Amino acid sequence: MNKSGSFWYYQKKATQRYGVDLAKEMIDNKKTEIEKSQFVIPRIEVVVTVRCNLRCVGCSHLMNNYANVYDINIDEILYHLEQLFACIDECICVGITGGEPFLYPHLSTLFKYLCDNKKISFVEINTNGTVIPRTVSYLKDPKVSVYISRYSTVKKTERLIEKFQNENVFYYYEDETQWVNYGNFENRHYRKSQQMQNYMECMDAFLCKTLLKGRLYCCPRDAFASDLGIVSYNDYVDFDYISSPDALLAKLQAFYGKKYSNICNHCSFNACNTPFIKSGIQLK
């Protein structure tokens, strides 16, 4: 894995979470750690559920395509995370995603594992801001951040923000007005050079490697399209068919060294001309 990329991401998350002054010493120490490490991952996304309470037009996670929704078994998630951390030195940030992750019933168990894991610097949960968790104690660890998507079309986030303020939960948000329009799954037949350029400039490909049911995919679009049977490439690392930490490490090193993914041919993200749509519009 590109160590400079992992260090850049650590700088970004540490400054965001702790502020410039408090983060400075942490950043200096982390640079030395990363330089000495064999394999550091900047971020992975862990899917906990495909349930969602919204039906957004252009959902990048394809939630509207699921006729039958489900949660991932917590023991299964923990088992695959144990496999991952048995073979890597560190993951800068683990993101929890869905669906809407605050609908998942086992978050406190998952967060305890992640916050206790010394190979993880930051834990982040992404929410649409419309589900109010009953308890937030597991979100108070210094490692944890909550990212709230605020859409102008969805007016339900203020109650969640008020709860986090009252409970001293660290959160941040962006007023999202538009999303990338990833389009349908027709094959675009990009030239290989264009495919590689798109992959290298896509932040999903760099930061959003996605763990879904024991398989690590290039990005959320790849993960959910594969789960739905829309595409059937083998562009993933299947943790259930790898016998040892050394074997998994070798697979991960090859996976992170890739210059493109087949899913890129089924995506409208384009390094030269990316289309956008208004965010948060609900299907009727």
Residues 193 and 272 in one domain: yes
For the chain, what percent of residues have pLDDT higher than 90? Answer: 80
Average pLDDT over residues 104-132: 97
In a domain? residue 148: no
Higher pLDDT, 176 or 213: 213
Q: Within this chain, do residues 106 and 1 fall inside the same structural domain, yes or no?
A: no
pLDDT value of position 2:
66
pLDDT digits 0-9 by tens, 179-202: 999 999 999 999 999 999 999 899
Judge if 42 and 19 occupy the same domain.
no
| pLDDT value at residue 176 | 77
Same-domain status, 108 and 33:
no
pLDDT of residue 207: 85
pLDDT of residue 12: 93
Average of per-residue pLDDT values in the chain: 93
Percent of the chain having pLDDT more than 70? 98
Does residue 270 lie within any of the structural domains? Answer: yes
pLDDT confidence bin for 205, thresholds 50/70/90: confident
Within-domain flag for 210: yes
Asked whether the predicted pLDDT for residue 90 surpasses 80, the reply is yes
Is 31 a member of any domain?
Answer: yes
User: Does residue 62 share a domain with residue 18?
Assistant: no
Q: Mean of the pLDDT values across residues 212-221?
A: 97
Average of pLDDT values for 30-40?
Answer: 91
Q: What is the mean predicted confidence (pLDDT) over 60-70?
A: 97
Residue 123: pLDDT above 60?
A: yes
Under a CB-based contact definition with an 8 Å cutoff, are residues 102 and 131 in contact? Answer: yes
User: Looking at the domain assignment, is residue 147 inside a domain?
Assistant: no
pLDDT, tens digit (0-9, with 9 covering 90-100), for 74-89: 999 999 999 999 999 9
Span 223-270, pLDDT tens digits: 999 999 999 999 999 999 998 999 999 999 999 999 999 999 999 998
**Per the domain annotation, does 215 fall within a domain?**
yes
Statement to judge: residues 29 and 59 lie in one domain: no
Look up the pTM and report it.
0.94
Let me know whether 91 and 188 are in one domain: yes
Question: Is pLDDT of 155 > 80?
Answer: no
Query: Residue 4: pLDDT band by 50, 70, 90 thresholds?
Result: confident
Whether residues 102 and 2 share a domain: the answer is no
165 in a structural domain: no
pLDDT band at 59 (very low <50, low <70, confident <90, very high): very high
Residues 116 and 218 in one domain: yes
Query: 78 and 117, same structural domain?
Result: yes
Mean pLDDT of 158-170: 95
Domain count within the chain: 2
Are residue 27 and residue 108 in the same domain, yes or no? no
pLDDT of amino acid 87: 96
pLDDT score for 284: 82
Is residue 162 in a domain? Answer: no
Find out whether 230 and 149 touch, Cβ atoms under 8 Å: no
What number is the average pLDDT over the span 166-177?
90
On the question of pLDDT at 1 being above 70, the answer is no
Tell me, yes or no, whether 115 and 191 share the same domain: yes
**What's the chain's length in residues?**
284
Q: What is the domain range of residue 7?
A: 1-37
Q: Which residues does 34 contact at the CB level (< 8 Å), separation at least 6?
A: 3, 6, 7, 10, 40, 90
